[in-house]
Amino acid sequence: MSKISFIHRRLIVNGSIHNSGGSTIAFRELGNGQIEFAEAKCSPRDNFSRAAGRVKASGRLSSDRYRKVTESSWDDFIAENSYHDYA
């Protein structure tokens, strides 16, 4: 399996990045052209932490309960998940 990569998405309120909320997606390419991924969401009551998000999302990547698989290409997956406006 390939190295785990991460996308950090932040909560945007009135055009500004908010310091709470958001999510982190851990993902890696499988040998068969698929990408497996898992997401960890930060509560709107908690400060966003990239480090905590990486730990939680990568742990979920190892869990059958949270892990998902997609047929998207690497570039398409990143484009679809990189920017997210929650507000």
Give every CB contact of residue 78 below 8 A, 6+ residues apart in sequence: 7
For 35-58, write each residue's pLDDT tens digit: 999 999 988 888 999 999 999 999
- Whole-number average pLDDT of the chain: 88
For 2-14, write each residue's pLDDT tens digit: 899 999 998 787 8
Q: Where are the alpha helices (DSSP H) in 5-44?
A: none
Of 40, 54, 51, 46, nearest in space to 18 by CA:
46
CA distance 18 to 69: 30
pLDDT of residue 1: 60
CA distance 37 to 41: 13
Residue 64: enclosing H or E segment and its boundaries? none
